[in-house]
């Protein structure tokens, strides 16, 4: 299901500690070298092996010959009136992705991308409109965080407000790039990497049910489900992958993941409110009924639709949004309203489009592969 674009030589930024240890073992080096090199790469942000003087000269030479340290380069930085920053980053093959940093009072959230474009084509999402181009490598996912941290040095000096939270809510569907995303999360969670706590690292998915079950075997990071509709008929329209994994199957997979989270942690249910489409009180009630079994174990996150040119949808009025939220609160659901940040720079949810053209043939090949694997059906694309 995943493709590797990791060209040789290997990019060390995407290698989890265990992978580095295996590499060094193969080279006849002590496993402890992994600890040293990770500190250089991720804590000190050093790119040049020559500087890593606690490694032997021989090892430094071999690293320089057989590995690289490369991260996406910033081509544009937009700073919003509210302090949100959006970076357009260039990848080695000229593809572009967007990364957003959202500073808040007591934390800083980085929204990273997992693919260039997206194949799922959710009807209200700007990324989907651009089509799918390719998966990111683990190094490119970690590289977004490393590059963002470098850009924020000296800008955000307060530790509390630097990158404390990471959400895989940028471009792409993380669970359709499973291996690279799992490897990247490993580095982000590792104390020798970025030391992000599992409660502050969120994977957001449109609902690839089998991949959610699989994920439960390897990690317990926070999970967000992009639900957006209380019934299959509507969800089929908004999130076409629902035709492959309908709501009941998705919620079954969520229950498996909840077991992994233990008794106290909840999943986030994301619901983008679109005027006249999914924002009526009847639909709020249908959602309450649908989620009944999960009530104690979920937090509902309402996101008023962020418009983009040609979407054909509108954001509901504030009173409609409030009424929807109030209904869910009255039905006993923890329901948050996500305030839109950075919309003056098109950095809000679902507005990340990057600046790339769809290499249509690649998209077709990728979609054909997903079909081969039964991940999406014809109608879904």
CA–CA dist 103, 108 (Å, integer): 4
In angstroms, give the least distance from the CB of 350 to ligand SAH. 2
Concatenating the DSSP letter of every residue in 282-346 gives: HHHHHHHHHTGGGGGGEEEEEEE----TT----PPPHHHHHHHHHHHHHTT-EEEEPPP-SGGGT
Contact 42, 51 (CB under 8 A): no
Residue 107 burial (CB < 10 Å; 0-12/13-18/19+)? middle
349 is an active site residue: yes
**For the window 34-53, what string marks contact with ligand SAH as x by the rule CB under 6 A?**
--------------------
Contact 168, 181 (CB under 8 A): yes
Using N-to-C axis directions, what is the helix angle for 209-218 and 247-261, rounded to 10°? 10
In angstroms, give the least distance from the CB of 334 to ligand SAH. 17
Bridge partner residues of 298 (DSSP): 267
In angstroms, give the least distance from the CB of 242 to ligand SAH. 11
**For the window 156-185, what string marks contact with ligand SAH as x by the rule CB under 6 A?**
-------------x---x------------
Instruction: Return the residue of 40, 124, 132, 366 that touches ligand SAH, per CB under 6 A.
Output: 124
- Scanning 3-11, 82-90, 119-127, 362-370 for contacts with ligand SAH by CB under 6 A, the matching segment is 119-127
In angstroms, give the least distance from the CB of 210 to ligand SAH. 16
Instruction: Return the residue of 23, 41, 71, 125 that touches ligand SAH, per CB under 6 A.
Output: 125
CA–CA dist 339, 328 (Å, integer): 17
Using N-to-C axis directions, what is the helix angle for 209-218 and 178-189, rounded to 10°? 30
- The answer to whether the bond into 9 is cis (omega within 30° of 0) is yes
CA–CA dist 216, 219 (Å, integer): 6
Sites for ligand SAH among residues 130-149 (CB under 6 A): none
CA–CA dist 183, 176 (Å, integer): 14
In angstroms, give the least distance from the CB of 270 to ligand SAH. 4
The Cβ-side half-sphere exposure at 325, using a 13 Å CA radius, reads 21
- Of 111, 118, 125, 349, catalytic: 349
Total binding residues toward ligand SAH, as defined by CB under 6 A: 16
The 8-class DSSP code of residue 257 comes to: H
* Beta carbon nearer to ligand SAH, 164 or 311: 311
Q: Does 350 bind ligand SAH (CB under 6 A)?
A: yes
* Beta carbon nearer to ligand SAH, 68 or 234: 234
Distance of CA 160 to the CA centre of its chain: 22
Contact 363, 133 (CB under 8 A): yes
Sites for ligand SAH among residues 265-294 (CB under 6 A): 270, 272
* Beta carbon nearer to ligand SAH, 169 or 375: 169
CA–CA dist 258, 252 (Å, integer): 10
* Beta carbon nearer to ligand SAH, 11 or 177: 177
**For the window 292-331, what string marks contact with ligand SAH as x by the rule CB under 6 A?**
-----------x-xx-------------------------
In angstroms, give the least distance from the CB of 141 to ligand SAH. 13
Quote the tokens at residue 193.
């990497």
In angstroms, give the least distance from the CB of 121 to ligand SAH. 11
Contact 110, 122 (CB under 8 A): no
**For the window 200-229, what string marks contact with ligand SAH as x by the rule CB under 6 A?**
----xxx-------------------x---
* Beta carbon nearer to ligand SAH, 29 or 173: 173
* Beta carbon nearer to ligand SAH, 41 or 250: 250
- The residue sitting closest to ligand SAH, measured at its beta carbon, is 350
Contact 367, 244 (CB under 8 A): no
- Of 29, 98, 140, 270, catalytic: 98
Which residues contact ligand SAH (rule: CB under 6 A)? 122, 124-125, 169, 173, 204-206, 226, 270, 272, 303, 305-306, 349-350
The residues annotated as belonging to the active site are 98, 349
């Amino acid at each position: 299901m995943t493709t590797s674009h990791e060209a040789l030589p290997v990019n060390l930024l995407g290698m989890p500690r265990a992978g580095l240890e295996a590499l060094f073992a193969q080279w006849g080096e002590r496993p402890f070298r992994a600890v040293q090199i990770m500190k250089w790469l991720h804590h000190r942000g050093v790119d040049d092996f020559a500087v890593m003087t606690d490694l032997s000269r021989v090892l430094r030479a071999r690293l320089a010959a057989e590995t690289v340290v490369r991260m996406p380069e910033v081509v544009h930085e937009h700073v919003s009136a509210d302090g949100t920053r959006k970076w357009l980053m260039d990848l080695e093959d000229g593809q572009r992705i967007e990364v957003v940093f959202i500073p808040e009072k007591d934390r800083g959230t980085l929204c990273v991308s997992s693919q260039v474009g997206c194949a799922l084509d959710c009807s209200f999402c700007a990324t989907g409109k651009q089509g799918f181009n390719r998966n990111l490598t683990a190094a490119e996912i970690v590289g977004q965080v490393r590059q963002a941290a470098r850009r924020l040095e000296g800008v955000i000096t307060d530790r509390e407000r630097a990158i404390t939270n990471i959400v895989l809510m940028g471009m792409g569907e993380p669970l359709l790039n499973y291996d690279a995303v799992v490897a990247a999360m490993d580095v982000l969670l590792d104390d020798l990497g970025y030391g992000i706590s599992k409660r502050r690292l969120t994977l957001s998915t449109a609902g690839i049910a089998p991949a959610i079950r699989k994920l439960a075997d390897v990690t317990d990071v926070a999970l967000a489900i992009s639900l957006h509709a209380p019934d299959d008929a509507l969800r089929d329209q908004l999130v076409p992958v629902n035709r492959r994994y309908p709501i009941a199957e998705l919620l079954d997979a969520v229950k498996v993941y909840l077991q992994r989270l233990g008794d106290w942690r909840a999943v986030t249910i994301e619901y983008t409110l679109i005027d006249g489409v999914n924002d009526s009180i009847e639909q709020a009630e249908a959602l309450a009924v649908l989620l009944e079994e999960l009530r104690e174990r979920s937090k509902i996150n309402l996101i008023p639709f962020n418009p983009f040119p040609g979407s054909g949808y509108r954001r509901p009025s504030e009173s409609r949004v409030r009424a929807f939220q109030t209904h869910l609160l009255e039905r006993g659901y923890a329901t948050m309203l996500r305030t839109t940040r950075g919309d003056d720079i098109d950095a809000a949810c679902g507005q990340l489009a990057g600046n790339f053209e769809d290499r249509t043939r690649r998209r077709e090949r990728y979609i054909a592969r997903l079909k081969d694997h039964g991940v999406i059906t014809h109608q879904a694309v």
